Amino acid sequence: MKRNQKGFSLIELLIVVAIILIIAAIAIPNLLRAQMAAHESSAVGTVRTIVTSEVTYQSTWGIGYALALTSLGGAAPCTASSTNACLIDNVIATGGPKSGYLIAAIGANTLNGITNTFGVSAYPVTPGSTGTRTFCSDESGVLRYNIAGAAMATPSDTGCQAFPSLQ
């Protein structure tokens, strides 16, 4: 009697599982690198947004740059003032995390009620996992990076100017 078998043998199933595991071993590191690159791109965009918001804040309120990052945001519904300018999302205004990065900004060099400088930085929540570089800028608008990925003590303009500019 001939037996009609349907289905797969154990060896065939093990070979298919092995092939899937090999493909996953190749694909997952590339996926993680792509995710980290996306987080860094988001951090760069956030720093640029804050620089633009600082310039808008300066020209709108006439008191220089914002002393704190929270002054650029505001909870919805937002009524614009010099303490809640409604220029950026409240997630950014409270320092994040946003896409694996924490954000910090501070105004400095206040003279006669006018804040003349500011610094902004975005640094990874988990260096090496959510991102590898710290990004910063100041009133010059030049975006800079630190390959160490460490948080800056304060996002001052003098600390940021020591880093190379982002091309």
pLDDT over 70, % of the chain:
93
If you search the block for the tokens 């003098």, which residue do you land on?
A: 158
CA nearest to 107, candidates 29, 142, 144, 55: 55
Hey, CA dihedral for 140, 143, 144, 145, is it positive or negative? positive
Q: Would you kindly state where each structural domain of the chain is located, as residue ranges?
A: 10-160
Kindly report, residue by residue over 40-97, the tens digit of the pLDDT: 999 999 999 999 999 999 999 888 999 999 999 988 888 888 888 889 998 899 888 9
The residues pairing with 119 across neighbouring beta strands, listed in sequence order, are 106, 138
If you search the block for the tokens 């996953």, which residue do you land on?
A: 24
Check residue 165 and report its DSSP letter. Answer: B
pTM: 0.81
Q: How many CB atoms lie within 10 A of CB 146?
A: 20
The residues pairing with 165 across neighbouring beta strands, listed in sequence order, are 144
- The DSSP annotation for 24-42 comes to HHHHHHHHHHHHHHHHHHH
Token pair for 12: 């065939």
- What type of residue sits at position 28? I
Among the CATH numbers 1.10.10, 3.30.540, 3.40.50, 3.90.175, which is that of 10-160?
Answer: 3.30.540
- The per-residue pLDDT for 76 is 81
